Structures are given as C-alpha cells and as structure tokens.
Amino acid sequence: MRDVIGHRRLLDRLGGHAVRGDVAHAYGIFGPRSIGKRTVALRLAQTLECETSTAGGCGTCLACRKVERGVHPDVRLVTRAGDRKLIGIEQIREMQQDLALRPLEGRRRVVIVDDASELDQGQDALLKTLEEPPDHAVLLLVTTTPAALHETILSRLQPLTLRLVPVAEIEEGLAARGIREASRFAAASAGRPGIAIALASGDGIRAERERVEAELYRLVGSGLTDRFAWAADLADESDPRRRADAIDLRLAHWSELLRDATVAARGELSRPLRPARLAETRRLATSVSADELLGATLLVERLRRDLGFNANARAMLELFALRLPYSQTMRAA
Ligand SMILES: [Zn+2]
C-alpha cells in the first residue's frame, strides 16, 4: 500500500482482497505505538472509496484526498475528544445512526475507532453493530492493547497485527521520501516507522538538538562521578556505528556551544553560532576562564577528528569528562 513503511505481506494481501470488494465487516488493527496502525486504517478506507480501485488508494482522486484530509462523508474517525480520557458513548451512538444510512459518495461507510481500548461502555453499544452490521459497513478498531477489548468484540474482528519493522525497511522508506541521514533515524526508531518520521521531521531534529545542548550544560555542572557514569553509558552502545554517531552528534553541537562561550569569555561575542543559547553561553563565560573554555573547544575538535579513526570510545569520553571545565553556576541552572 502507498506510503506505508513495512508490513508488506500483510498489506499486499489485504489490499488485493479489498480491491476486489472482499472485505470483512470489522477489523482489529493491533500493534505497538508509532508502528503505522492509523495509516493502515486510512489506506484501507482509501482502497474502499478510491475512484480508481487501487490497493491503498491512488492518493490523487477526489475520494482519496477527502479521506486523507478527514472530510470524506463516508469515512468517520471516532477518537477521544480533547482532554477526555475515554471515547464517549454518545460518540458511538451518533456514529451508529450515520452508519445505518447508505453511503453518500463512496461504496462503503468506513468507521475508524482509535484507540478502541478507550471505548469503555461504548464497547457494549458497539457490539450491536458488530453483531448485525449494515451491508455497506466496515469498522476498523485500532488499538495498542487488544486485551482491553471484550472477548465478544474481539471474536468478531478480523485481526491485523502489525509488528516492529526491520530497520533496513524503515531506512528504505525514509530514503524514498527524500529524507537525508535515513539510516540514523531508522536506527534510532527501534522498528517504529512513526518515530523515525517524527525524528526526521524538523521538530524531531530541534528537540534532539535541545536535548544534546542541555546535556553539555548538565555535564559542566556535574562532578566526576556523574561524568564518568555518563561516559560509561554512552560507550556502552554495542553497535560501533551507532556509538560513533551518538558521540559525533554531541561533539558537533558542543563544539559550537564551547566556541561561543570562549569568545564570550574574551568579551568579543557579537555573532553567536547558537543565539538561542545566549543566556547559558554568558553564564558559562562568566564562571569559567577563557583559557579553560578554549582548551575544551580544542579538545572537542580533536576528539571529533580521532573519532573518525575508530579511537577507543570509552577512553575518549573519559578524557572529555576529566578535562571539561566545571562550573558551579551551571549546576544551579
Ligand atoms: Zn483514489
């Protein structure tokens, strides 16, 4: 199916059946978070409504676009409203009234319930529909925890269980979307395409950068015991490539932060490399000498070079832990 990363065999089979109109009245789409459950539900809905009868939907016809934007009159998403903890029973009743009517534009009426474990009393109400579904109805119950569904409900669902996706497939999927550094995001996603996509999007990158920046300030304010624990953690990654990537990511961010602080300590910072961190840069510059900051900056640059020659990661990180200047002020921050 179009634009779904992984689950190839299951989706090929499902898509093939759906195109021929061979669909069950109710499916349970199960699997861990960020694995692609909602996307699979949408693609199945598109398959059923698409004007060109393409497995996964063609993605370009009016019906496919309406489903994608959540405005197709025959495809309804039932989900927890706002800050409520559960899907309200009135939401199920309303859906059922709708479902009883013939489709307005498409061939079927499709209801996606996500997350179905949040139905609570809605489960009893839903059971009636599952027992006697209208001919044109297809229900897709999406959940991370199928065990929360009553046996009477579960037994009426055709299960589609999505499993963790091999990293190579995620990498391929990201690369096909034109995402650079696909292998890094794929590796970090631990088999969940949704996480890989979030990481690769701007938000993910910004969040990662902020996390790594904060890590330096925390280390500057930490004593040796904490610093060595940090070095051991980072060196612990057994995959040498992932370990090198994790270290390089930090050194790349930190070299800029330290350079800003060094220049600020000399009172010359007019164009910071990291303007968003100006407050921390100034605090660091007033609590550590310019010489010490320069030493740390040069050390980071040297370690980055050494990293390319497969240096002993742990020894490298411990050297960094020892030499990084200490600042009581950063500790308080
Ligand atoms: Zn279409």
Going through the chain in order, the beta strands assigned E by DSSP cover: 26-30, 75-78, 109-114, 137-143, 158-161
CB 102 within 8 A of CB 136: yes
According to the model, what pLDDT value does residue 62 have?
A: 95
Distance 59 CA to ligand 1 centre (A): 5
Determine the distance from the C-alpha atom of residue 72 to the mean position of all C-alpha atoms in its chain, rounded to a whole number: 26
pLDDT for position 160 = 96
What's the CA-to-centroid distance between 57 and ligand 1, angstroms?
Answer: 5
Residue type, 42: L
In 3D, which of 115, 117, 80, 75 has the Cα closest to residue 99?
Answer: 75
CA of 200 to the centre of ligand 1 (A): 27
- Report the greatest alpha carbon distance in the chain: 78
What pLDDT was estimated at residue 120? Answer: 84
pLDDT in single tens digits along all 333 residues of the chain: 788 999 999 999 999 999 998 999 999 999 998 999 999 999 999 999 999 989 999 999 999 999 999 999 999 999 988 778 899 999 999 999 999 999 999 999 999 999 999 998 889 999 999 999 999 999 999 999 999 999 999 999 999 999 999 999 999 999 888 888 889 889 888 899 998 998 888 777 778 888 999 999 999 999 999 999 999 999 988 888 788 889 988 998 999 999 999 999 999 888 899 988 999 999 999 999 999 999 999 999 999 888 877 678 899 999 999 999 999 888 765
- What is the pTM for the complete model shown? 0.64
Question: How far is the centre of ligand 1, averaged over its atoms, from the C-alpha of 49 (Å)?
Answer: 7
CB 55 within 8 A of CB 18: yes
How many Cβ atoms from other residues are within 10 Å of residue 33's Cβ? 10
